[in-house]
Structure 1
Amino acid sequence: MSRYRLSPSDAVEWLRSLPAASVDLVITDPAYESLEKHRAIGTTTRLKRSKGSSNHWFQIFPNARFPELFTEVWRVLKRDSHFYLFCDPETMFVAKPLAEAAGFRFWKPIVWDKQHIGMGYHYRSRYELILFFEKGRRRLSDLGVADVLPMPRVYRGYPAEKPVELSEVLIRQSSEPGGVVVDPFMGSGSVGVAAVRLGRDFHGTDICPEALEVTEARLRAEGAQPEAPGDTRELRIARSG
């Protein structure tokens, strides 16, 4: 049975609390800084409020914090492991060299083809990038998987919600059953749902109280159990406070 551990914490501070070399795989999707540009010029309405959620858009994770984030991701990952970072083309040019400076080998961007156009004025966006990094050396489970993953976006879901099936591809490629998958910007928990469906444990954090509630409900619906009673009590205390 898969287990989970959730926390209402800042991503970097939470990663610092994890033991070194304790994580098999990190997949995450920060609310990157370039989203503010789209909000400022009005090229999207989804940055204001999602139809599937009562909360306002996430607090932006500034580019200036990427070095400390990547340092901690490197520290908590086991030797010979992978790290996937969702981002847009603008953020890619910022994140790639900073992750490499933290020690990661950059392999390539994977393209998530959402199959329908989205926000923007000039050549409206239809895809998102997933930057593929490696610590040490780890062979992918299936070398026949292409670098373009066509999968419809989630409509009327949590803000920026990713399809569970998309995370399932990455988890199958880069971890084994029984491993620990981590998402320090977990949102609605799609990475966690994919992890427990595939027999992995999931650890995640988010500063949004609704994200914690939604994620826990989804994980329990999949049959996952909290890793320790203390984690659940801590979560309830954070919600009531």
Structure 2
Amino acid sequence: MPIGFRLAQLDAIKWLGEIPSASVDLAITDPPYESLEKHRAVGTTTRLKHSKASSNAWFQIFPNARFPELFAELYRVLKRNSHLYLFCDPETAFIAKPLAEEAGFKFWKPLIWDKKNIGMGYHYRARYEFILFFEKGKRKLRDLGVSDIIEAPRIRNGYPAEKPVAVSELLVTQSSEPGGVVIDPFMGAGSVGCAAVKHERHFWGNDVGAEAVSITRSRLLALGAADKQRQR
């Protein structure tokens, strides 16, 4: 079967609700977490300001109050013995971890994405982001010798909060097999999808932003993946 993808432009939880239970091999995602609003208020980020180079036209903040239903749906759609990776800042990590555990996930540890250079802000300017590593059931990583610090330069002048494909590639190959299904309910510019397709996994992605869907579709088609949604 040729590697393919399916994309949607819906509320993340509504989209997850349309996915059959226990049909997904791996979930990797980066919600536009609530603390971004606080960073904007004190001027430590430009990610939500009105400009073509930032994100106000695309981002709708995902409130912390919705994390319980998000984790419940992610747990439902994932197969037993699978992994979930959640990108977040340290503040959101303290909120998300216990809520994911209440949904049934086992928390292993935060991975550190080292962006190699500092960003905007005050008080020890950040050059890293957390990737919370959760497990449903029990699944062994492909390579137990991989470090918990992932080094990859941040994307400059790309889609807002865009993640390097190299980071997603590591997670995809560590926690899934060729032919499996990888999902991202908050896909942005589609770095998870690109990583999945490059390593012969199918990708199901969603974002509320029309531009995110358009960019992701173009990137995946350029990699030779088939648009399964349009073939239905």
TM-score (norm 2): 0.96
Alpha-carbon distance in 2 for matches of 1:120, 1:57: 22
Post-superposition offset of 1:15: 0.3
Alignment of 1:1-12 (within 5 A): 1-12=2-13
Post-superposition offset of 1:229: 2.9
Q: What is the match of residue 135 of structure 2?
A: 134
Instruction: Count residues with an aligned counterpart.
Output: 231
Post-superposition offset of 1:46: 2.9
Alignment of 1:182-221 (within 5 A): 182-221=183-222
Contact 1:55 1:210 in 2 (8 A): no
Percent identity between the two aligned chains: 67
Aligned CA RMSD, in angstroms, stands at 1.4
Q: Does 1:89 align with 2:90?
A: yes
Which 5+ residue runs of structure 1 have no aligned equivalent? 232-241
Contact 1:196 1:219 in 2 (8 A): yes
- Which string of whole-angstrom CA distances, capped at 9 and with x for unpartnered residues, describes residues 215-238 of structure 1? 00000000001114356xxxxxxx
Alignment of 1:1-241 (within 5 A): 1-49=2-50, 56-229=57-230
Local SS of the residue matching 2:95? helix
Post-superposition offset of 1:119: 2.0
Seen in structure 2, the aligned counterparts of structure 1 residues 98 and 54 have a Cα distance that, compared at 3 Å, is closer
Which 5+ residue runs of structure 2 have no aligned equivalent? none
TM-score (norm 1): 0.93
- Which string of whole-angstrom CA distances, capped at 9 and with x for unpartnered residues, describes residues 178-209 of structure 1? 00000000010010000000000000111100
Alpha-carbon distance in 2 for matches of 1:52, 1:192: 22
Alpha-carbon distance in 1 for matches of 2:88, 2:163: 12
Post-superposition offset of 1:103: 0.1
Local SS of the residue matching 1:214? helix
- Which string of whole-angstrom CA distances, capped at 9 and with x for unpartnered residues, describes residues 123-171 of structure 1? 0010000000000000000001000001100000000000001000000
Contact 2:55 2:160 in 1 (8 A): no
